[in-house]
Amino acid sequence: MATILLTALAICASQTTASPTAGVPLGLELWPRSQRAARLDLDKQLAQSIDRESLAKWHDLVASVPHPAGSVGDAQVIASLKGAFEGMGLEAELHPFTAYLSSPVSASLALVAPVSQELSLVEDPLPGSPYSESEELDPYRLGWNAYSGSGDVTAGVVYANYGRLEDFARLKELGVDCTGQIVITRYGGNFRGFKAKFAEEAGAAALIIYTDPRDSGYGKGLESPEGGWANCDQIQRGSLKTLPWSGDPLTPGYEATKDAKRLNPESIALPTIPVQPVGWLAATQIMRRMRGQSVPGDWQGGMPFRYRLSGGEDLRIHLKVEQKRELVDTANVLGTLRGTESGEADPGIIIGCHHDAWVYGADDPTSGLIALLETARVLTNAAKEHGAPRRTITFAAWGAEEHGIIGSTEWVEGNLERLQAGGVMYINLDAAASGLRLGVSASPSLQTLFHGAASVVPQPQASPMGAGAVRGTPQQSALDAWRGGSNSLPNVGFLGGGSDHVSFLALAAIPSASVSARGAPGTAYHSLYDDLAWYRRVVGPDYESAALVAGIVTVAADRTARAELLPFDLAEPARATLRVLQSMMQRLTSGSGTQPELRELIASVREEIQIGERLQSKAHARAEEAGWTTGSAGRFNSLAGLLEQCWLSQNGLEGREWYKNLYTAPDESSGYASWPLPGLQKALVLATDEDIRKAVEELAVVVSNRRVFLGSVSSLLR
Amino acid sequence: MATILLTALAICASQTTASPTAGVPLGLELWPRSQRAARLDLDKQLAQSIDRESLAKWHDLVASVPHPAGSVGDAQVIASLKGAFEGMGLEAELHPFTAYLSSPVSASLALVAPVSQELSLVEDPLPGSPYSESEELDPYRLGWNAYSGSGDVTAGVVYANYGRLEDFARLKELGVDCTGQIVITRYGGNFRGFKAKFAEEAGAAALIIYTDPRDSGYGKGLESPEGGWANCDQIQRGSLKTLPWSGDPLTPGYEATKDAKRLNPESIALPTIPVQPVGWLAATQIMRRMRGQSVPGDWQGGMPFRYRLSGGEDLRIHLKVEQKRELVDTANVLGTLRGTESGEADPGIIIGCHHDAWVYGADDPTSGLIALLETARVLTNAAKEHGAPRRTITFAAWGAEEHGIIGSTEWVEGNLERLQAGGVMYINLDAAASGLRLGVSASPSLQTLFHGAASVVPQPQASPMGAGAVRGTPQQSALDAWRGGSNSLPNVGFLGGGSDHVSFLALAAIPSASVSARGAPGTAYHSLYDDLAWYRRVVGPDYESAALVAGIVTVAADRTARAELLPFDLAEPARATLRVLQSMMQRLTSGSGTQPELRELIASVREEIQIGERLQSKAHARAEEAGWTTGSAGRFNSLAGLLEQCWLSQNGLEGREWYKNLYTAPDESSGYASWPLPGLQKALVLATDEDIRKAVEELAVVVSNRRVFLGSVSSLLR
């Protein structure tokens, strides 16, 4: 039965890629035939307008000072960005908010026994890097994790690998007790906040998180300053917040205005134990002295000794962390390019990237922010030359992302109604440009849009980068390089967590995308070393990576802004849903009583695919022949624009009600990975028939609504 | 077409595993029904007779002195082994031979620039190990590789990963020139002799081979002396000989008697460049100073810095190696348990393991040699209690294996005729007991024999070992543990190279097997540390591993020795051939003109499977019902015993004519891996239709002969 249905699906799928749109430029299927050549000319002109020198200047503008959220540098960057938007002729405004942030007061780490020795919690300046040697850096040298508890602990140590749920379970299985111990984990495998959460749940007295050289240092390539990988000092800062809502810790679901009513900080689950990030030299000084049992094979990292699970009686260390948590004022910066057909309040297409950084943040986030600024510059100029687009484009530089995606969330919470009424899509560019290997994660409805944009932007031809770079050959498009020799078009991945798209997608159900080009040989992630010197040495001084991203985003945004019909893919969301459901079906034990329900849901999704594909064919035929009346185009756009919102659930996800989108959410125990159909995912983990049945019913309502919606669009074409 | 044939095969295969032999104890399919219960009783009694204390005593007897081939200790061990065989009541004899061996005179390694520093070429004594602290060790402390060239080189360095053919190709691709350089490779990935051969071919002036901590040290577990893995000093000795024949370098194809006519040593391809093995501390002192380009990702090992391809201008090292090569007298030791129906000259079933070691060799080879001695003791006692077996069993302790499989090869070359006339099978036990994870590589005709033996030997219940051990649960047989939860019986693997089975299989085409139980948490391979202290600490003082191996070999040998009909599997060899041909078929490019020929050969092999299976069913039915007459059993045994020899080719393999068995050979560029159907394998690498056609034709003759042979056996049953 399954085989027969799969074959049917394969036939359906091959029909859509076959003749009807043959010869039509990718992504322009719904464009009137007569306008396609002009559109391609404009695309080419936009891509050519991206200026590498301009990108370098934006980089100097933003990344020359340390600018963590709420700092002096932050205020300076906010003013610079507002000035930059104004200078382009955009309507610029600040969106101030007041967030509950944490900041370091002091920290120390020392061996107590068998020897007494202070361990370093700061990064040495790198020879040749003016940025890491700068005196203005002094307040920012200390490595720290935002929202750590404050405390003073002397105890033995336990090593917990990556500190994932399964790692702590394994420790228990192996008879190692974390109670009262200082747990050491390496970075990687999950969001660091979960390391702290699981350590605290396991009874740990404190947590040290280090960067293992196998994962990020000499295990990958040459170290800074000769190469780009983590040296023994490099420390990854970062937030530990894992609350069941995104944004400001004290204002879940509403905007963190100056005088908003706030939760009592005591009432929310921020870490209580001290947590300290360190480089691997400090970790070596502790871990080489551990004397307990040898680790399981895949727990071994790259330091030059066998790792052990526990330190033994003779090893004692002392960790003291003092932090303060307080309300801090900062702001988002918004620049608006007004569309001719958008309403006054419509945000339209939103392109965003945060502006706050752990220190300089040349790569994270600024490599994305410069692509955003260059996109804004080119599109503003295009508006002058070719007239304003139909749809408004909003450029947003978000504040306080690093503490927990705060600025974007507060803006979405404060503008939810007008966003859901007049928002078209969201493109996120956090740390988007560190290599030439293009990657797009997006709502499936945007897949064709990005295929189309990548098909008209050339893949950069040369770059001084080493391993991991994808170089184009002459005349190769970014799409050619992206598909990497495959005949089929690349599937965009589901969006996970960890950046500013989260509230757009999970709270407002706006079609969202994250675009990046990565692959440079190194990482300075969240460290002092992520400065312009590192970036220009490792990613390159030529700005080809940022130009690639800016080119694709410029074309995708301008096409969407100027299109008569929203260029959304109406069948791909159901296809992606089907793939997820089919893999879930395989995970269902054969004894489960819920197979029939799931099978019915799958059949229903298959119908949605067929309706979507018929609709696309008809819409395409109309574009080829008669064209659309303004009225029918408007109704098509309203319906297509709202289709994503069918996934919204009033009640939200179980246990984290802030998340309203039943289609996708970040997963619950790593924080970064994508979790398509999260309600059903969770029910499958719990694995009771009742939970699964409930989740399937909930999804069945959505799928049925989407079919009705698609049916309404279809009726416009009769 | 292929699919239909595959289905047909699946049906064939399932027929053999189905009803006809249901309820018959594994491996006793050809036993007269009335004798099976008694056979199982005897099996049980034999398995229970294996004595752990006796195994420990054999271990003390052999591994208490350093005994490399030709040394004073070697002569002492030879005398002890002869005495042990005599003490059991076996007919014991020495088989002396004179081989061209190499021995170390002196060696030194030093950094010359940027600093001047001597590097260690010896292993420090381990605290707590009386063996590695012993003064009698002094002549054996220097690490060395047999058959290294002598020379004195000062040069820069190049790192070549494992020194495989593909590694040197990659270096060339990356623009790194080995000419005149001292190449450094790590151990692993191939036989060390090929590292030297390829380095010399690449123009290297010298070669250093080190043990990487990721492959054998802290990357795997705790180091010696706390754990069992390589510490920073541990050096792997070993031979570099890669001549196109096995055994003594100067007497290919004939016995190396005292006065044999010998080749001129200048005429054979032994290494000319100096080659030196080192521990990873010495390698670190060189490699951390390299300044060239970063290595490809999978070339990185476990030392705490990024590996580089070349050292750069500023790094110079000095290596001096002096060795001598000369004729050396040593001997094999043979003990014979005479069978009642074997002829005077028939070696019958041969069980072998070499006795020479690099130093003490507690694991390699002695853990196998003690299993052999215990098997001999138990079977000699069984002969006293139950009467001598039908077939002779020969126990062989081979000399000078470590230099290049010399003793066994010289014996086979000197006894080829009587071996091919009266040899039944060969079981090799080199370093066979270092854990509880059973592994059997064997001629496919022996597969059922070892399944059967493993089914009556209990899997050891407890052992002090850590990771890697396979522990039995109560009432679990060794076969249960071996199949590891799978419903189907394990396929025995093809035999590769690197030990004393090579000449039995590749020169004489005697059905051969290698039995081992491995998985202990550590390795002291070819190092000074491979002593009784290491073995009893890491593998365990309980001798469960050696008892497991001895139990299985004892049962397999005694069943074969006492069986009326040789218990060989007559269909499995063709099934294994078919699997190999099918995977080769997939490697043939679709454009190849030789597909029809290969397809015809496959069809012919399928017929052999059918004939073999029919024959087995009939033989089994006869065993169930009437039984065999002595005459027909004799003819069955003659034919079944000669079936393997159908694979012999007068001309031998192309380019290495010494190898006569077209069924399997060690591969040509790693030396350890198995290469089933080597002629065709090589033709596929060359990939010309003519070569492939020639190889297929050659195989077609063999397969046709085997079908005729099987048909003759079958006619006995009409």
Inter-chain touch A306–B466, beta carbons under 8 Å: no
Burial class (CB within 10 angstroms; exposed 0-12, middle 13-18, buried 19+) of B651: exposed
Q: Is A95 on the interface with B (CB under 8 A)?
A: no
Give contacts of A305 with chain B, Cβ < 8 Å.
Answer: 218
Q: Is the pLDDT of residue A11 over 50?
A: no
pLDDT score recorded for residue A654: 87
What is the C-alpha separation between A646 and A703, in angstroms, rounded? 8
Q: Which region among A505-519, B22-36, B163-177 has the lowest average model confidence (pLDDT)? A: B22-36
Count CB atoms within 10 A of the CB of residue A173: 9
CA gap B141, A23 in Å, rounded: 75
* Residue A294 sits at the chain B interface (C-beta within 8 Å): yes
Contact A297 B467 (CB under 8 A): yes
A220 vs chain B: nearest CA distance in angstroms?
7
What's the whole-number mean pLDDT along residues B318-342?
97
Q: Please tell me the predicted confidence (pLDDT) of residue B519.
A: 94
Phi, psi of B89 (to 5 degrees): 100, 15
The confidence score (pLDDT) of residue B474 equals 58
- pLDDT for the residue numbered B432: 97
A549: three-class secondary structure by DSSP: helix
Kind plus residue range of the DSSP H or E element containing A373: helix A366-386
Residue A297 contacts B where some CB pair is shorter than 8 Å: yes
Q: Which amino acid is at A236?
A: Q
Find the helix packing angle between B595-624 and B572-587, rounded to 10°: 160
Of B566, B533, B249, B612, residue with least CA distance to B410: B249
Q: Is the pLDDT of residue B17 over 50?
A: no
pLDDT-derived band at A587, boundaries 50, 70, 90? confident
The residue to which tokens 């229970």 are assigned: B48
Nearest 5°: CA angle at B232, between B226 and B233?
100
* Distance (Å, whole) CA A225 – CA B142: 40
| Residue pLDDT, tens place only, A427-469 | 999 999 999 999 999 999 999 999 999 999 999 975 444 434 4
Closest CB to A303 among B223, B304, B306: B304
Among A363-372, A635-644, B506-515, the minimum mean pLDDT is found in A635-644
Query: What are the domain boundaries of chain A?
Result: 2-30+570-715, 53-99+327-562, 102-324
Radius of gyration of chain B (CA): 26
Exposed e or buried b per residue across A599-637, where buried means at least 16 C-beta atoms within 10 angstroms of its C-beta: bebbebbbebbbbbbebbbbbbebbbeeebeeeebebbb
CB atoms within 10 A of CB B329: 15
Each residue's pLDDT tens digit, A313-348:
999 999 999 999 999 999 999 999 999 999 999 999
Contact A9, A574 (CB under 8 A): no
Query: In a 3-state reduction of DSSP, which class is residue A327?
Result: strand
The two three-digit tokens of residue A64, written as one number: 């020359």
Alpha helices in B297-443 (DSSP H): 366-386, 406-414, 416-422
Superfamily of domain B2-30+567-715: Transferrin receptor-like, dimerisation domain (1.20.930.40)
For B308, the closest chain A residue by CA position comes to A222
Q: Minimal Cα distance from B213: which residue of A? A: A304
Transcribe A127-191 into DSSP letters.
Answer: TT-HHHH-GGGGGG-B--EETPPPEEEEE-EEE-TT--HHHHHHHHHTT---TTSEEEEES-SS-
Residue A304 to residue B302, Cβ atoms within 8 A: yes
Mean pLDDT of B530-538: 96
CA distance B213 to chain A (A): 8
The amino acid that residue B483 corresponds to is R
Per-residue tokens: A428: 């996120």
CB B660 within 8 A of CB B652: yes
DSSP letter, residue A295: P
Please choose, from the candidates A66, A22, A5, A34, the residue with its C-alpha nearest in 3D space to the C-alpha of residue A402.
A66
In angstroms, rounded to a whole number, what is the distance separating the alpha carbons of residues A501 and A579?
23
Cis peptide leading into residue A114 (ω within 30°): yes
For B305, name the nearest residue in chain A, comparing CA atoms only. Answer: A218
Instruction: Note the pLDDT tens digit of each residue in B292-304.
Output: 999 999 999 999 9
* Both tokens assigned to A107: 């920290």
| Euclidean distance between CA atoms B478 and B438, whole angstroms | 8
Q: How confident is the model at residue B462 (pLDDT cuts 50, 70, 90)?
A: low
- One CATH from 3.40.1010.10, 3.40.50.1820, 3.40.50.720, 3.50.30.30 for A102-324: 3.50.30.30
Of A213, A221, A294, the CB nearest to B222: A294
B223 interface with A at CB cutoff 8 Å: yes
Residue A466 to residue B223, Cβ atoms within 8 A: no
Listed residue (A283, A441, A269, A434) closest to A365, CA to CA = A434
Residue B468, C-beta contacts closer than 8 angstroms, at least 6 positions apart: B435, B437, B518, B519, B520, B521
Q: Name the CATH topology of B34-99+332-562.
A: Aminopeptidase (3.40.630)
Q: pLDDT tens-digit profile of A565-581?
A: 999 999 999 999 999 99
- Res. B35: pLDDT tops 70: yes
- Shortest distance between the Cα of B121 and any Cα of chain A, in A, equals 21
Residues 6+ apart with CB under 8 A from A176: A158, A292, A293, A309, A310
3-state class of A423 per DSSP? strand
Whole-number Å distance between alpha carbons of B147 and B200: 14
Res A62 pLDDT > 60: yes
**What's chain A's length in residues?**
718
What gap in Å lies between CA B505 and CA B444, rounded to an integer? 12
Q: Kindly state whether A220 is in contact with chain B, defined as any CB-CB distance less than 8 angstroms.
A: yes
Q: What is the mean pLDDT of residues A57-85?
A: 97
Rounded CA gap, A460 and A542, in Å?
10
Which of A300, A304, A466 is opposite residue B304, by nearest beta carbon?
A304
Q: Are A637 and A391 in contact (CB under 8 A)?
A: no
**pLDDT higher at B592 or B665:** B665
Give the distance, in angstroms, between the CA of residue B491 and the centroid of all CA atoms in the same chain. 17
Q: The tokens 């397969």 sit on which residue?
A: B703
Task: Tell me the count of A-B CB pairs closer than 8 A.
Answer: 46
Amino acid residing at A509:
A
| Order of strands, sheet of A157-159, starting from the edge strand that comes earlier in the sequence | A157-159, A182-186, A206-210, A275-278
Q: Has residue A591 got a pLDDT over 70?
A: no
For the purposes of burial, counting CB atoms within 10 Å of the CB of A471, is it exposed (0-12), middle (13-18) or buried (19 or more)? middle
Query: Residue A117: is its pLDDT beyond 70?
Result: yes
Report the pLDDT averaged over residues B538-552.
97
Q: How do residues A140-165 score in pLDDT, each as one tens digit?
A: 999 999 999 999 999 999 999 999 99
- Sign of the CA dihedral running A77, A79, A85, A90: positive
Q: Find chain B residues with C-beta within 8 A of A229's C-beta.
A: 306
| Pairing mode, strands B91-113 and A206-210 | unpaired
ipTM above 0.90, yes or no: no
Q: What is the pLDDT of residue B473?
A: 56
* Contact call for B222 and A306, based on CB within 8 A: yes
A305 touches chain B (CB under 8 A): yes
Does residue A228 belong to the interface with chain B, where contact is any CB pair within 8 Å? Answer: no
Of B119, B118, B364, the closest CA to residue B233 belongs to B119
Confidence check: pLDDT of A6 > 50 = no
A686 has a pLDDT exceeding 60: yes
Is the pLDDT higher at B125 or at B316?
B316
What the block records as the tokens of A153 is: 């602990």
Going by pLDDT thresholds of 50, 70 and 90, the confidence category of residue B101 is very high
Distance set, CA A256 to CA A12, A97, A261, A420, A710 (Å): 48, 6, 8, 20, 37
Phi, psi of B648 (to 5 degrees): -70, 140
Look over chain B and give the mean of its residue pLDDT values, rounded to a whole number. Answer: 91
Find, in chain A, the residue whose alpha carbon is nearest to that of B216. A306
What Rg value do the Cα atoms of chain A yield, rounded?
26
B551 touches chain A (CB under 8 A): no
User: Do B65 and B355 form a contact (C-beta atoms < 8 A)?
Assistant: no
| Top-confidence residue, A129 or B467 | A129
Q: Which CATH number fits domain A2-30+570-715: 3.40.605.10, 1.20.930.40, 2.40.10.120, 1.10.10.10?
A: 1.20.930.40
pLDDT at A18 over 50: no
Could you say which residues from 491 to 530 on chain A have a Cβ atom under 8 Å away from some Cβ of chain B? 521
Q: Is B281 on the interface with A (CB under 8 A)?
A: no
Res B5 pLDDT > 60: no
* Domain A53-99+327-562 class in CATH: alpha beta
Q: Nearest CA to CA, how far is B538 from chain A (Å)?
A: 14
Q: Tell me how close the Cα of A310 comes to any Cα of chain B, in angstroms.
A: 14
pLDDT of A588 over the 80 cut: no
Check if B219 contacts A (Cβ < 8 Å). yes
- The larger pLDDT score, comparing residue A50 to residue B685, is at A50
Which pTM was predicted?
0.90
A interface test, pick of B222, B287, B291 with most A CB neighbours within 10 Å: B222
Lowest mean pLDDT among A9-13, A263-267, B302-306, B471-475: A9-13
User: Residue B582: what are its φ and ψ, rounded to 5°?
Assistant: -65, -40
Residues of chain B contacting A287 with CB distance shorter than 8 Å: none
| Res. B493 pLDDT band, cuts 50 70 90 | confident
Nearest residue to A293 via CA among A162, A181, A214, A176: A176
Average pLDDT over residues B567-577: 93
- The contacts of residue A41 (CB under 8 Å, 6+ apart) are none
Sequence-distant (≥ 6) Cβ neighbours of residue B213 within 8 angstroms:
A304, B219, B230, B232, B280, B301, B302, B303
| B466 neighbourhood in chain A, CB within 8 Å | 294
User: Would you state the pLDDT for residue B455?
Assistant: 97
pLDDT of B716 over the 80 cut: no
Burial class of residue A120 in the structure, from the number of CB atoms within 10 Å of its CB (0-12 exposed, 13-18 middle, 19+ buried): middle
Burial grade of B222 (CB within 10 A; 0-12, 13-18, 19 or more): buried
Condensed to tens digits (0 to 9), the pLDDT of residues A245-287 reads 999 999 999 999 999 999 999 999 999 999 999 999 999 999 9
Are A306 and B467 in contact (CB < 8 Å)?
Answer: no
